[in-house]
A and B are shown apart, each in its own frame.
Chain A
Amino acid sequence: MTDSSLIKGLWWKLLALLLLLYAVIYGFFIEVPYFEVTKESIRNVFYHVGMWFGMSAMLITSFIFSIRYLRGFREKEDIVAVEAANVGIFFGILGLITGMIWAKSTWGAFWVRDPKLDGAAVGMFIYLAYMVLRGSINDIHKRAKVSAVFNIFAFILWIVFVMVLPRLAGSTIHPGQDGAPVMALNLSGSTRIVFYPAMIGWILLGFWIMNLRIRIKRLGIRD
Chain B
Amino acid sequence: MLFREVKALIGKDIRLELKQKYVLNGILLYLLSTVFVTYLAFEEVITPETWNSLFWIILLFVGVNGISKSFVQESPARYIYYYTIASPQAVVLSKILYNLLLMAILSLLSFGMFLLLMGNQVVNLELFILALFLGSFGLSSILTMVAAIASRASNNFSLMAVLSFPIILPLLLTLMKISRMALSGPEWPGATGPLVILVTINLAVIILAYLLFPYLWRD
Given A126-B167, A158-B167: A150 touches B173 (CB 8 Å cut-off): no
Asked whether any CB of chain A lies closer than 8 Å to the CB of B58, the reply is no
Bound form: Cα–Cα A49–B201 in Å: 28
A152 and B212: CB pair below 8 A? yes
Residue of chain A at shortest CB distance from B194: A168
Partner among A122, A133, A149, A164 whose Cβ is within 8 Å of the Cβ of B159:
A133
Whether B153 sits at the interface, judged by CB under 8 Å, is yes
Q: Please tell me if A70 contacts chain B, counting CB pairs below 8 Å.
A: yes
Residues of B contacting A161 with CB < 8 Å?
169-170
| Contact pattern, B 186-202, Cβ under 8 Å of A = 1, otherwise 0 | 00000001100100110
Determine whether the beta carbon of A146 is less than 8 Å from that of B208: no
Does A152 lie within 8 Å of B152, measured CB to CB? no
Please classify the interface of chain B as helix (H, G, I), strand (E, B), loop, or mixed, using the class held by over half of its residues: helix
B162 in the interface (beta carbon within 8 A): yes
Give the distance to chain B from A120, nearest Cβ to Cβ, in Å: 12
How far apart sit A136 and B142, CA to CA, in the bound complex (Å)? 21
Per the CB 8 Å criterion, the residue count for chain A at the interface is 28
Asked if B177 is an interface residue, CB under 8 A from chain A, the answer is: yes
Is there contact, CB below 8 Å, between A149 and B149? yes
List residues of chain A with CB within 8 A of the CB of B197.
Answer: 164, 167
Minimum C-beta distance from A21 to chain B (A): 36
Among B152, B162, B200, the residue within 8 A (CB) of A132 is B162
* Contact status of A154 and B153, CB under 8 A, knowing A148-B215, A160-B204: no
Q: Does B76 belong to the interface (CB within 8 Å)?
A: no
Given contacts A122-B166, A157-B204, 19 further A-B contacts (CB under 8 A): A122-B169, A126-B167, A132-B162, A133-B153, A133-B159, A137-B154, A138-B154, A146-B153, A149-B149, A149-B212, A149-B215, A153-B149, A156-B208, A157-B168, A160-B204, A161-B170, A164-B174, A164-B201, A168-B177
